Structure formats: C-alpha cells, structure tokens
Amino acid sequence: MPDPFPFATYSFVMAITPGPNNVMLTASGASFGFRRTLPTMLGMWTGHTSMTVAIALGLGVVFQRWPLLHDTLRWAGASYLLYLAWRLLGARGSAAGSAVRPISFLEGALFQLVNPKAWVMSLTTAALFLPADWPLAAGCLYLVLMSLLVNLPCIAVWAAFGSSLRQCLEVPSRRTLFNATMAAALVGTGVLMVR
C-alpha cells in the first residue's frame, strides 16, 4: 500500500493555491453564492479527475507524441480566460447574479482541457502517485478517491470565500472593483499560460 501522505500533500498544495479554477470559483461564489456555484465546482472537479484518470490510462503519451496539441490547448485556455475576464467586466456594478449566469457543470468540466494548471497536476499525479504494483483500475480508483478527499474540499474553500464576500459586494463600486480585480487575475493567468 502506498503512503498517501505525499500524494495528499501534493494535491492539497496544488488545489488550494490560486489558479484559473480558483479565481473563477471565487468570482462565481461572489456573484451567485455557494449553492449556485456548486455545479461549476463539481464540473471542475469531475473534469480534472477524469483527465487524471485518462492520463493514467495512457493519454499522456499523446502530448509527448504531438507537442503542438499542448501548445494549442494552452492558447485556447488563455483565450477562454480572456473571454471570462471580459464577461466579468461586463458585470461590473450590477447586483450579484443579475448580469450573467454561473458557469455550468459541463463548462467547468470542459475548461479543464484548456487549464494548464490542471494538466500539470494531472500529469504529475499520474506519473508520481499511480501505484505501479496495483491493477490499473484499482490505481485509478485510488487517484479518484484521493482527489475526492483532498481536491474537492480545497476548491470548495475558494467558492465559499467568494460567497462570503457577497454582502460586502452589494455596493456597486465595490462590485466593480472586485470584478475588475478578478478579471485582472484571469488576464494575468492567461498571459502566464502562453509565456
């Protein structure tokens, strides 16, 4: 049996630190509340976990064989972050949740395909923490269970943090400043993705 502590520590650090998912969850929590952000959060977790399992099953070889695919996904991800930043700026000054809808479960899941932090985390997880001496199905189940126990609560913290800001953001000038800050964080993340 592998020692789960190194995997749990790695997962915690990667999932709790800022990144595209966490910025989007904070903004969604602030705009729509925790409950309405749940589909987004669960979609992100499902997409990321599915990607990790797919890599463990051999998808990582595809990126080694066709590195242009990785670059294409990077640019697509950066473009999507710019779109989300623009959407956030369009909601400035409006009451929470009135201007746009939260990102759906499916959009959250599919975003993982263009999220470079999710790819790095999935590739590293499959390479370092998939138990080599276990049957592949059991090893993949281990990865999923660890993600459920560690990653999901970490990203929930970001959605809850955003939700905790809702009352403070009822003042239009504060909402505008918050949306501009979240949009700038998304743009900055997008720029870092393609550097």
pLDDT tier at 150 (50, 70, 90 boundaries)?
Answer: very high
Encoding tokens for residue 96?
């929470």
113 within domain boundaries: yes
123 within domain boundaries: yes
In total, how many domains does the chain have?
A: 1
The set of residues, in sequence order, having a beta carbon less than 8 Å from that of 100 and lying 6+ positions away, is: 31, 87, 90, 91
69-119 confidence digits (pLDDT tens): 767 877 877 787 788 778 777 764 444 444 478 999 999 999 998 888 898
50-75 confidence digits (pLDDT tens): 999 999 888 766 766 777 876 787 78
47 within domain boundaries: yes
> Of 78-82, 91-95, 122-126, 147-151, which one has max mean pLDDT?
147-151
What per-residue confidence (pLDDT) applies to 173?
Answer: 85
Residue 132: exposure state from Cβ atoms within 10 A (0-12, 13-18, ≥19): exposed
What per-residue confidence (pLDDT) applies to 66?
Answer: 77
Of 29-33, 79-83, 121-125, 153-157, minimum mean pLDDT range = 79-83
Q: What is the mean pLDDT of residues 24-45?
A: 95
Residue predicted with more confidence, 182 or 142? 142
Q: What is the mean pLDDT of residues 29-49?
A: 96
Average of per-residue pLDDT values in the chain: 85
Print the domain residue range for 127.
Answer: 20-92+101-194
14 within domain boundaries: no
Q: Quote the CA–CA distance of 52 and 57 in Å, as a whole number.
A: 9
Cβ 165 vs Cβ 49: under 8 Å = no
Residue predicted with more confidence, 68 or 32? 32
